[in-house]
Amino acid sequence: MPVPNLTLPLTAFLILYGIFICIYALYTFFNAYHLIKFGLIGRTTRSIIVVQAGLSLILLIVSLFLVTYQDWTVTWNLTEIFQRDAEQIFPAL
Amino acid sequence: MMDLKKLPNRQKHEKVVLFLRRHWFAPLTIALTFILLIVVPAGLVGYFADKQHWFSHPTLGPLLVLAGSMYFMAVWLIASIEFTDYYLDTWIVTNERIINIEQIGLFHRHASEMHLASIQDITSDAEGFLHTMFNYGQVNIQTAAEEKRFNFKDVPFPDQVKDTILKLVEEDKKRHGQK
């Protein structure tokens, strides 16, 4: 019986990354919102908001840059991986 | 933003005497944890220098970059939320009342106030080596109000805070003609 050829494109992991980025952006926004709404008026609070929002944005940009720099067109051949692993565990196969 | 000169329900001649947050140990703990969680994985990457070629692997490389960036972003996000939690926990003592504001996570905020006249008992407590060395601890206020107890957690100089509040209570009683 022929073994079906199972492949997994690496772009599937970008969906997970996209969900993570949405959650990250949402929480960063609410973090800044709470500081703006409930923080004590003054230079310290403003500096904290700028630093937190700024660093969050920098991390996001660096992450997006590193991720877009990768080649996501590669496909994982799961059949090959499973067969290879099975042969290593069960050499007679 | 909150303005101490424009507190809600501000009475005439009311002025802020104490504005308290938790001791600086709280943000220091957050910072140290954050640094540890950043430095340890970065150090591991440097330690396993002979495995650097994994990043150029066609399938493993992109996944390592994805996992790594998600990890560092998550650590930063958690650290910044914890810091906001610390920063928004405040206790404001005026010559008329005490306002207790507690930020519990990002979507839960608890604010209560009590008038000095309803204070029945105040205790301060600095337990532990670090609390004793750095002079910070709890101040517990027992009241006759709906919220029976106010607890100032890990505030600096708890004894001085207790004494200041006691003095304010006495002055409030004299001002309002109570014995």
Predicted local distance difference test score (pLDDT) of residue A2: 62
CA triplet B79, B80, B82: central angle to 5 degrees?
Answer: 65
User: Which region among A4-18, B89-103, B109-123 has the lowest average model confidence (pLDDT)?
Assistant: A4-18
- Give chain B's domains with CATH numbers: 15-23+91-175 (2.30.29), 29-84 (no CATH)
**Residue B153: which residues within 8 A CB-CB, separation 6 or more?**
B22, B89, B138
Q: How confident is the model at residue B32 (pLDDT cuts 50, 70, 90)?
A: very high
Across the range B99-115, mean pLDDT stands at: 87
The tens digit of pLDDT for each residue in B128-171 reads: 998 899 999 999 998 876 767 888 999 999 999 999 999 999 99
Chain A: closest CA distance from residue B128 (Å): 31
Picking from B101, B4, B71, B27, the residue whose alpha carbon sits closest to that of residue A52 is B27
- Dist CA A16 CA A11 (whole Å): 9
Which letter does DSSP use for residue B2 in this model?
A: B
Interface contact flag, A74 B59, Cβ < 8 Å? yes
SS (H, E, C) chain A: CCCCCCEEECHHHHHHHHHHHHHHHHHHHHHHHHHHHHCECCHHHHHHHHHHHHHHHHHHHHHHHHHHCCCCCCEEEHHHHHHHHHHHHCCCC
Q: How confident is the model at residue B37 (pLDDT cuts 50, 70, 90)?
A: very high
- Out of A52, A70, A76, name the one closest to residue B80 (CB): A52
Contacts of A38 in chain B (CB under 8 A): 1-2, 88, 101, 103, 109
Interface contact flag, B73 A59, Cβ < 8 Å? yes
Average confidence (pLDDT) per 10 residues, chain A, 93 residues: 72 91 95 90 91 94 91 77 57 52
- The ipTM estimated for the assembled molecules is 0.80
Q: In which order are the strands placed within the sheet that holds B136-143?
A: B119-125, B136-143, B149-156
Any idea where the domains of chain A sit in the sequence? 7-89
Three-class SS state of B99 = strand
Type of residue at B68: G
Query: Does the pLDDT of residue B49 top 80, yes or no?
Result: no
Type of residue at B100: N
Size of interface A-B (CB pairs under 8 A): 95
Residue in this structure with the two tokens 């990043």, named with its chain if needed: B55
Contacts of B72 in chain A (CB under 8 A): 59, 63
- Give me chain B's average pLDDT, please: 87
* pLDDT higher at B58 or B103: B103
**Phi, psi of B94, rounded to the nearest 5 degrees:** -110, 180
Q: How confident is the model at residue B26 (pLDDT cuts 50, 70, 90)?
A: confident
User: Which region among B2-6, B11-15, B48-52, B121-125 has the lowest average model confidence (pLDDT)?
Assistant: B48-52
Q: How confident is the model at residue B174 (pLDDT cuts 50, 70, 90)?
A: confident
